[in-house]
Amino acid sequence: MELKTLQGASGMPMFPEFEHIRRFWMPQHDRYGVKVVAGDYYVTKQDELITTVLGSCVTVCIRDAKAGVGGINHFLLPDASCDILSASNRYGVFAMEQLINSIIKHGGRRENFEVKLVGGGNMMAGVTDIGKINIEFVKNFLRTEGYVITAEDLGGSQPRKIIYNVTSGKLLVNKMRSHHQDRYAEKELELQRSKMATAIHDDVELFE
């Protein structure tokens, strides 16, 4: 499929299904970036940075280094049910299939996938640990589908900001300070309600 040139400051090509996502300049990294919000995903072949902020949510970063294509998703299961036929499971499977199918559509091959996981923090003490449930779901999904996890930064109690580069495969993780926790806990509780109504490896680098 041909790339569609984005009309904007970068002039870099972008796959048509992602033209609603706007790039922004990240001077500290000397690259353009895109931000992925909860419930969305992004796939690219460009030397750009994909960013998102996570609490209980999980982001799966996948790339095919040989084809030079990859991306991330950002999802939160809408409730605590992990039964194979539950609405939560179907939601999580959809989030994974969106990312995987898009990478394949744009030239990636399953056998070449490099998979990294981030997120799944416990943001709300005293209530169901949704982060743990998200982690269990995504690990079970990847194991069932035969994918090997090459790096992960999961669990804990801090929000994370990540920056992922498909070209290099480099994943930066910033463990955000505790004063951010209440704000992200409130946001994720609101997100959970809306959904219900409708071992770090060397190539994962912590940053501040």
Catalytically active residues are 57
- Residue 171 CB coordination number (10 Å): 25
**Polymer length in residues for the chain:** 208
Pairing of strands 204-206, 171-175: parallel
The Cα–Cα gap between 26 and 28 comes to 6
Longest CA pairwise span in the chain (Å): 50
100-107-112-153 Cα dihedral, nearest 10 degrees: -40
* Token representation of residue 173: 């993780």
Pairing of strands 113-119, 149-154: parallel
The sign one gets for the Cα dihedral 74, 115, 156, 163 is negative
